[in-house]
Amino acid sequence: MKKALWCLILATALAVCGCADDTRYPWQCVTDKDCASHNPCLEDKCLDSICTSAVLPDDVACDDGNVCTLADSCQMSVCKGQEFDPILVLKDTCLVFTCDPQEGYLVGFEPNGTSCATGACNEGVCLSAE
């Protein structure tokens, strides 16, 4: 009877922690792959069958998964990128940029008649006012 009760308690605990289909607890490991935190600013290791994570130093290159950022680097264990503003490169144009983190930059046009460097926008082109 005691063995059956112990098995019921163990099965319940494993189901609660998400380990029901595995023989290890989430913090236990065999290889480094068992410890993947999916945080590019952590170095995940399996040491003596226990998962450990070491914070990588600030300014280590990483990928924040956002195509709208550049120069991604670890900052206090978080991967952060710098927003790229194409308007700084293409200022005074009749183009409008928006960015979707998965799709990238999308280009549209300023409304016709919008002021630009040499006159007014017309179908995305800055035409002379003369």
At 117 the pLDDT is: 84
Amino acid at residue number 109: F
* Residue 37 vs residue 24, higher pLDDT: 37
Ranges 17-21, 62-66, 73-77, 118-122: which has the least confidence: 17-21
- Same domain for 117 and 68: no
Buried b / exposed e along 81-112 (16+ C-beta atoms within 10 A):
beebeeeeeeeebbbbbebeeeeeeeeeebee
- Same domain for 89 and 101: yes
* Residue 69 vs residue 84, higher pLDDT: 69
Most confident of 14-18, 80-84, 91-95: 80-84
The domain tally of the chain equals 2
- Same domain for 101 and 90: yes
Q: What residue numbers bound the domain in which 91 lies?
A: 85-128
At 130 the pLDDT is: 65
- Same domain for 76 and 91: no
